[in-house]
A and B are shown apart, each in its own frame.
Chain A
């Protein structure tokens, strides 16, 4: 171990990640070499006093400008998302409405018919709701949970199959 090697390895020596044998080699060298002792002490001191550095402070005028800009942007962003959510909800509502109409009128595609029958038997809530429709009866408001379930039928449709017969 010489001074050059010691300086090269100092970072690992100080952060404690060095393996034991190497550490004891370094200790041996340091105990014999004043320059390396001083080098290590000043290196470590440099590392520690760096915590005194203050990063640049944000100018007050910019801080306030940024604060109100971000409040506006966040509001805009949120409104955009809300608008999208409403559109998506409206779309789903219409889809399910069309689905139920086709169900009442017996126009469901073969896969959808199958999905309807199996889901009606499996899902208690949807089953009760669908049975209450009683074939030709007029539209009823669809509870949200049931709407979610029915909307999923569209996802399960095989590619290329139209959901309803005209």
Chain B
């Protein structure tokens, strides 16, 4: 009896609690967590859970601050840059977003996902910065909308370049070209496009983040895609003739 107990005893220092935590999904093996009674520290894996992360943030855990930073700094900066298109503005906005998240961690209700709450804070921080600034020069989206005859037919025949696009360009190059085109759009279309088609959020999530209705998101997204389709088509056509 004694021996069996000894064999099962995990190697833990006396006076400490030992908890076995099993994670589902990408971490296969159960992880042995030795929790000190004196200095409590949260294992990084647990901080992947939104609720645990927020709870730890509220308590002021420095590991939680680090985990939040690691998880979101790239996305927040990228999103800020795609709205503001200016490095120093994007840096300031990114910093503001994190400070707001710390200060408002206790107000997060969990009605939406954590990332969607943070994206919303980010969009608001960026729009605050855009306010009062002169609108950046952008292309007129109307020039790229499809053209029809009075009878509602395509004015000129539409070609299928969908197979060509990946034959001609590497993914990375393709990404750059699309980014260049969408950077020329006004921020009203760009931000919807980035959240929905680049980040892959649902229309409902995008609407919630931007404070728009779902039909408004759909209509902006549709126009952004029509614009981009036309730009890509022209780009490929020009490439072909060159």
Contacts and interface: CB of A to CB of B under 8 A. Distances in A.
A19 interface: no
Given A37-B160, A43-B229, 4 more contacts: A45-B162, A58-B74, A70-B98, A74-B65
A3 B102 contact: no
B57 to A, nearest CB: 8
B152 A2 contact: yes
A69 B95 contact: yes
Interface in A7-65: 7, 10-12, 15, 34-39, 41-47, 49-59, 62-63
A12 B158 contact: no
B154 A39 contact: yes
B228 A41 contact: no
Closest 5 CB pairs of A and B: A55-B78, A78-B60, A2-B152, A4-B152, A11-B222
Contacts of A39: 146, 154, 158, 229
Interface in B150-174: 151-154, 157-162, 165-166, 171-172, 174
Nearest to A62: B91
A107 to B, nearest CB: 39
A41 B160 contact: yes
A140 interface: no
Interface in B65-116: 65-66, 69, 73-75, 77-79, 81-82, 87, 90-91, 94-95, 98-99, 102-103
Nearest to A12: B218
6 contacts: A42-B233, A59-B87, A63-B73, A70-B98, A71-B62, A73-B98
B42 to A, nearest CB: 14
Contact of A7 (B159, B162, B226, B228): B226
B225 interface: yes
A135 to B, nearest CB: 41
A165 to B, nearest CB: 40
B193 interface: yes
B194 A41 contact: no
Contacts of B53: none
Contact of A35 (B69, B158, B162): B158
A72 to B, nearest CB: 10
B55 interface: no
Given A7-B146, A77-B103, A57 B66 contact: no
Nearest to B159: A38
Interface string B43-74: 00000000000000000101001100100011
